[in-house]
Structure formats: C-alpha cells, structure tokens
Structure 1
Amino acid sequence: MSDGAGRPTTAARRPAGRATAAVVVAAVVVLLVLPAVPRLFGSYAVTLFTLIFFYGFLGQAWNIVGGYAGQLSAGHAAFVGVGAYTSAVLSISYGITPWIGMFVGAGLSALLGAVIGYLGFRFGLRGFYFVLLTVAFAELCRIVAANVEAVGGAQGLYITFTGDPRQFQFGDTRAYYYIAFALMLGATGVATLIERRRFGIYLTAIREDETACEALGVDVFRYKMLAMIVSALLTGIGGTFYAFYLFSVQPNTVFGIPLSVEIIIRPIVGGAGT
C-alpha cells in the first residue's frame, strides 16, 4: 500500500520493520551463543565450527569480488597459498612470528591479486575467460611451489609444534576456534561496510550491467581492481591460519582447484553478493 505520493504507508512498512528486528535479534543471539560453544560441547564440535568459521571467512573474502562485483574468480586458492607459504617460510627459515608474516603474506596476495586483476580487467576478460585466467595463475603458483626446494618442493613445508602463541600455535584448540570466529566476523564486517558505501553500489551496478556503467562514466577498471585487491588481501590473511592450523603446507593442496571450489561454493549457495 502507498499514499497519494507513492510512498509506502505505515502499515506497509510495519512487516519490513518486524522482519529486520527479527534478523537483528537472531544475529545477537547467535553472536552470544557461538563464543560459548567450546565450553558447552566437545572437541569435535569445536573443530567443526572452526572449519565452518574459516571457510565462512574465505567465502566472504571471495564474495567481495565474486559476489558484489560479479567477477568470478576460480583461483582464490592462489591467495591462500601465497599467504600460507609466506608466513610459514618466514617462521621456519627466519624465525619471524606468523603474526607479522600474516600481514606480509596478505600484502603479497594483494599484489598477486593486482597482477591478475590488471591482466584480466585491462584486457576486458569477462565470464569464462576471467575464470580461466584465475585458474591459470593458481596452477602456475602450484607448479612454482612444487619445483622450488627453498619452499619444500613437492613435499611442501612442515611446521614443528611448539605450543607458543607467539608462533601462532596453541595447546588448546579452542584458541583456533575464537580466531576463526574473529576472522569471519571481520570479513563480514568489511563486506557489509563495502555494501553500504558508494564503492559497494558501484560494484553491484558493474555486476548488473558493466557496459552501462562505463557509458555513465563510472571508472569500472578502478573499482574492479579495488575489489580484487581487497578480496585477495583478506584471503591471504586466511593463508596463515590455514598453515598454522594444519601445521603443513603442500602445493598440490593449498593451490589446488578443490580448495578454490570450496571457497566459491559457500557464498554461491548462501547467496553471492549478500
């Protein structure tokens, strides 16, 4: 229902307001309950939820470029791998804490994302062709890592457990649960912030009709590049968690297509761009 000026009436707005309130209440309840899971349930539940949070984090990171901008990357495992290898090598070979290596790896992942984005977006690759480009870079990273002995070659790297929190290692697995939970909340916060800013509006418009955006003067290349870089940076942070949660990094796994598919499938099923 609407009034004479075409505005929705109070009665029409009421259901929408109730739905929003219900969502907010449900979200608050979930946020209050989830931190208590490790104290209420056993180690299996903790491990399960840790993985759910981690892949939720990766899914939200992918969602920035794949969901909002509509640029389907099928090679996001490359960014996980770069982040994982960077923090692992810095820790094993140079004694640099993964808490620092995490951001170095994220920076290198962002740089790789910029390279992929530049090649793809500058030359107008869309759809299937952009997918192939991202897969090709992930495969290139896998081949390089598997053939460079300095990073473990085909066998990869194995991290010795010390239980030192300064080395991103914890004797209590609940610590990984809380870190994964924080990562997921952080990525969701970034995605929500983007969605509510002009940046997000432009990304959505580009996804819906890139040609029209260009005709209207929107710098399509710039916004797609920014989306790719932010997405790659966040995913690179996840690489450190991946390496020090599993205590190993193998090229065929961390750069493999199966990991990219696992990253993609969750936001697609859950609703890309939301």
Structure 2
Amino acid sequence: MRYWPILAVVAALLPFASSSQFLVNLAMLTAFSALLGQGWNIACGFGGLTSFGHAVFFGIGAYAVAIMQTRFGINPWLGLPAAAILGAAAGAVLGAAAFRAGLRGSYFALVTLAFAEVFRILANSLDITKGGLGILIPLHPSLPNFQFADRRGAYALVLVLLAVAMGIAAWLRRSRFGARLVAVRENEDAAAALGIPLVRTKTQALALSGAVTATAGVLYAQMFLYVDPNIAFGAERSVEMLLVAMIGGAGTVWGPVLGAIVLHLIQDTARMLIDTPGFAPMLYGAILLAIIAFLPNGIAGLRLPRRRSAREEVRRA
C-alpha cells in the first residue's frame, strides 16, 4: 500500500505517452474532479465543516474569468489569481457571517446551499452574466490565451493545480494551523477551551477552500469555453465535490484522487449500460448512501489484513 502514490503518479503520466484522445480526456476529467474534491476536502475534510453549496466558489471562479475576458479583455492568466482571490473573499464573507452567528453542522450546510442558489438566481438575472444563455468564450487556442489545441496541455495544467492543492492538504496535516483545524473538527467545545479561535480558524479554512475551488472554476471555463448558471452553481457540482472526497477519504491528502478515479469508473460504466437522462443525480444519491452505510471513512480508511509473522503463525498453531 505504501507504493500506491508512486503508482498513481506513473498512471497520471501515462496519457502523455498515449495517442488516444479518449484516454487523455478521461485522465483530464478525473484529475479535474480530484481538484474539485480537494477544494471541498480542505474545509470539510480537515475542518469538519458540512457544505452542500461548494459550487458557489467554483461558479465565482468560472464566471469571474469569463467576464474578465469577454467584457474587459483581461488575459485569463491574470484572471486566475483574481478568481482565486474572489473565491477566498466569498469564503471569508460566508464564514464570518455564518460562524459568528454560531451556525454549524446541518444549519451551516443549509446556508451554503442557499448561498449557491442565490448566486445561481443572480447569474440567471444579471446582464453581465448574460442570464440563462450563459457566456461563450471565444476560441483562440494558444498558451498565452490559456487555451490548448491539444488536450494534453490542459491536462498538464490540471495536474499542476492538483499538485498545488495536494501540497496545501499535506501542509494542513503538518502545520500548526492544520492541527488547530483538526482540533476544531474533532470537538469544537474542547478546542475553544484550549484557546483556539473557532470563528477565525473555520473562516480561514473556508477562504482557503474557496480559493482552491475557484481556480477549478477557471480551469473549467478555459477548457470548455462556456459557463451558464446551472453548470456553475448547480447542486450536481456540489455533490460531485462531496462524493469525490468522501469516496476516497475526507481529511486525507490522496483521498480525493482515489475518489475521483472510482467515481469516474462508476460513471463511465453506468453510462455505457444505462444511457438515461437524469441518471447521474440518481447515481450520485445511491453512491452517497452506500458510502455512509459501508465506507464512512472512505477508501483511504480501509485497512488491509496484516500478514502474520512466522512466530505469530506458530503461536496460532
């Protein structure tokens, strides 16, 4: 088991040597889902928050870069950090308001869901977002324009941002801030008694999560060159993030990667067998129920049986 991260890295590099566009697209979408899951994981896996509306940060990033390009002619490479800042700001505002009001658990989850729905309604109504028609980004494939004629270029960028997100997750496991965050996750009352500032710690985690998730929104806009309210702020996007982290193991570095691989295998297999409109939400619901019932700690929480030593075998005999 200790060698599987190396195997994952080797598998991630294989599409660069393949001529199959299907394999490259599959790897790109899987890595993209892992990035989304890692964004959710930072606040909800490590921090113990419950968010059903994390798509709000994804949508902010996607719309920010799309509007900057089409309305103001701002290069998307400059839009990337700007979108991350906007995502962090949205997380900070949401966190400060909700946590100061003492919201936690299911109450906070409902607030995040409502927050995403408010943004979806706004995106459907405002002229700057072009309402329900969405924003179509002009095709100008080149590296300076953050567009790639070859999907391998987009895949490489997704891998880079995924590595950054995983680096943040690894830092959380070892840093003082991460230790405070885990303490808050395990027992808020005990953490407060130890002098940990609950509101500030959770707000900072949500802001960091918002920044990472917003960068995923930028990637989506640049890869598919189209954003609309349902794509950006829809509940299905939030559920995808949650599932990826929970399948693999929330609060772990490699969990979202494992979850993304498994989720896409299930999705693609089910799509080949059952090609029915609206099937994806039903599939997500079934997977979520199965995780809660049988894998509460995700795949990363599984422990393989340890091989007994010769001495233990003799004693057993």
* TM-score after normalising by structure 1: 0.89
CA offset digits 1:219-273 (Å, max 9, x no partner): 1111111100100011111111011111100012210000000011111111111
Selected match of 2:139 from 161, 185, 188:
161
Q: Which residue of 1 aligns with 2:18?
A: 40
Amino acid at match of 2:241: I
2:94 is the counterpart of 1:94: no
- Give the counterpart of 1:107 among 85, 94, 97: 85
**Cα distance per residue 1:172-224 (max 9 Å; x no partner):** 11111111111111101111111111111111111111011111211111111
Q: How many positions carry a matched residue from both structures? A: 252
1:251 aligns with 2:245: no
Aligned AA for 1:246? F
Quick one: distance in 2 between partners of 1:262 and 1:32? Answer: 25
Are 2:79 and 1:79 aligned?
A: no
1:88 & 1:95 partners in 2: Cα distance?
A: 10
d(CA) in 1 for partners of 2:14, 2:230: 36
Alignment partner of 1:227 is 2:205: yes
Taking the aligned partners of 1:187 and 1:271, their CA distance within structure 2 comes to 16
Task: Write the letter of the residue equivalent to 2:33.
Answer: Y
Deviations along 1:66-88, one digit per CA (max 9) or x if unpaired, are 01110111111111111111111
Paired position in structure 2 for 1:140:
118
Structure with more contact order per residue of length (Cα contacts < 8 Å, sep ≥ 6) = 1
1:17 match: none
- The CA distance in 1 between the partners of 2:8 and 2:47, in whole Å, is 29
Kindly indicate whether residue 116 of structure 2 is the aligned counterpart of residue 116 of structure 1: no
Is it true that 1:186 corresponds to 2:164 in the alignment? yes
| Secondary structure of the structure 2 residue equivalent to 1:150 | coil
Identity score, percent: 39
**Unmatched 5+ residue regions in structure 1?**
1-21
Shift of 1:41: 4.8
Q: Give the SS at the match of 2:128.
A: helix
> C-alpha offsets along residues 89-146 of structure 1, whole Å, 9 cap, x if unaligned?
1111222111111111111111111111011111111111000110111001111111
Name 2:8's counterpart in structure 1. Answer: 30
Which whole-Å CA distance do the structure 1 matches of 2:18 and 2:64 have between them? Answer: 36
Query: How many angstroms apart in 2 are the aligned matches of 1:69 and 1:185?
Result: 20
Aligned pairs (5 A) from 1:193-204: 193-204=171-182
CA RMSD of aligned residues (A): 1.2
Q: Is the 8 A contact 1:86 1:101 kept in 2?
A: yes
Letter in 1 for 2:107: Y
Specify the code of the residue in structure 2 equivalent to 1:222.
R
Residue identity matched to 1:84: A
Give the counterpart letter for 1:168 in structure 2.
Answer: F
Instruction: Measure, in 2, the Cα distance between the counterparts of 1:259 and 1:229.
Output: 19
What's the CA shift for 1:33? 4.1
1:150 matches 2:128: yes
In 2, Cα distance between equivalents of 1:212 and 1:29: 40
Contact 1:109–1:236 under 8 Å retained in 2: yes
Q: Distance in 1 between matches of 2:41 and 2:177?
A: 14
Partners of 2:142 and 2:226 lie apart in 1 by 16
- C-alpha distance in structure 2 between counterparts of 1:154 and 1:40, whole Å: 38
